[in-house]
Amino acid sequence: MVFDFLKGEFIDVISFLDDTRDTMVWRFERRGQAIKYGAKLTVREGQAAVFVHEGQLADVFGPGLYMLETNNMPVMTTLQHWDHGFSSPFKSEVYFINTTRFNDQKWGTKNPIMTRDPEFGPVRIRAFGTYSMRVSDPAVFLREIVGTDGEFTADEVSYQIRNIIVQEFSRTIASSGIPVLDMAANTADMGKIITTAINPLVAEYGLTLPEFYIENISLPEEVEKVLDKRTSVGIAGDLNKYMQFNAAEGIANPASGAGAMIGAGMAAGMGAAMAQAAGPWGAPPATIPAAAAPPPPPPAAAAVWHLAENGATKGPFDEATLSAMAATGQITRASMVWTAGQDGWKTASDTPLSRLFDSVPPPPPAP
């Protein structure tokens, strides 16, 4: 902030240096002094200066150096009836508007959004992300948002912007018809749709949103657990195999509650078999056949993978099929894949599938 005075009474230089990085509006403090006719106004890049005279918005100055004279202030001249120039001081409020981008602004859904999924039916989802905002019309922003506030920061308007974003996000998601499982592959397109819907609303405040990002869309934790179970059933193939799979897991991990229950069931079954093999008085028969060894647990189900292509999911595919697809170039190291237990979609090169490309030659060199 720079204050230069000439002759002790009149302001000669008007300018503003901002080192806070979050100040959107700052009012030049006159401290009861008048602005001298012919004073210098310095407006730097990324700024605009707005003159308010006797409560009325007068002139708006973009970046540059100005001499405050009649020919440089047409609106002020009209308000003051300075038809033939003037030389006396005048009193006006000068507001400096920061027109640069304010980046890394956060948004998120405070409460879950109810939407209808074509596969799961009604579901609740949450989302969050970031955006940037910029003052596009200094006069409208000062009139609609700032008022007479002498210093206005980005935090004072970001809450209202977040409410607009969540409202438009909820409306867009509810009407998009995109399945929940495919939303991660369509966040960029949804971001553009939401930005298009939001900009006319924030323009009424003299603002624009140059960037808008959706970082994550998630289901409630309990729904995700059920979805993981459903994926496991799909991998097992049918209920019987799924029960065998659970039993094998319990035997392999006897410390778990499922393992203890399975172990107790096996012990009870073995005891009943021994009692049936014994004589009526509990004496062993003359010949007791050797107890048959329990069948080995079934092998663990092989992992299967889903592919994301052009906003849709494909699969599941086993590794043998994916290996053949890699050999023919249908999938590459950059293909997006997902399997049960994996945290979101990843490129094939960042998963165990990277070994499928060890024998695939890289693209030929340019001729």
Question: What is the model's pLDDT at position 305?
Answer: 82
Looking at CATH, the fold of the domain delimited by 102-219 is given as Tetrahydropterin Synthase; Chain A (3.30.479)
What is the signed CA dihedral for 303, 116, 192, 350, rounded to 10 degrees?
Answer: -10
DSSP 238: S
Class of domain 304-357 as given by CATH: alpha beta
What's phi and psi for 364, nearest 5 deg?
-65, 150
What the block records as the tokens of 216 is: 């994550």
- Separation CA 5–CA 35 (nearest Å): 10
* Alpha-helical runs (H) found in 25-182: 74-80, 138-141, 155-176
pTM for the whole thing?
Answer: 0.54
Q: What are the pLDDT digits (tens) for 278-287?
A: 555 444 555 5
Which is nearest to 202 in space by CA: 170, 171, 162? Answer: 162
- Domain ranges in the chain are 2-98, 102-219, 223-262, 304-357
Write down the residue that tokens 């960037």 correspond to: 211
Question: What is the model's pLDDT at position 1?
Answer: 40
- Cα–Cα distance list, 113 to 116, 190, 194, 290 (Å): 10, 15, 15, 63
Question: What is the model's pLDDT at position 227?
Answer: 73
Question: What is the model's pLDDT at position 209?
Answer: 93
**β-strands 23-28, 151-153 pairing:** antiparallel
Q: What are the DSSP calls for 294-356, one per residue?
A: PPPPPPPPPPEEEEEETTEEEEEEEHHHHHHHHHTTSS-TT-EEE-TT-SS-EEGGGSGGGGG
Question: What is the model's pLDDT at position 33?
Answer: 52
Question: What is the model's pLDDT at position 363?
Answer: 65
Task: Please give the chain's pLDDT, 367 residues, in tens.
Answer: 444 433 444 567 888 887 777 888 988 876 655 677 777 888 999 999 988 877 778 788 989 988 877 555 655 555 454 444 455 566 778 889 999 999 999 999 888 888 888 877 888 888 999 999 999 999 999 888 888 777 888 888 888 899 999 988 888 888 877 888 888 888 888 888 889 889 999 999 999 999 999 998 888 787 777 777 766 666 555 666 667 666 766 666 655 554 555 555 554 555 555 555 555 544 455 555 555 667 776 665 678 888 888 878 888 888 888 888 888 888 888 888 888 888 888 888 888 888 888 776 666 676 6
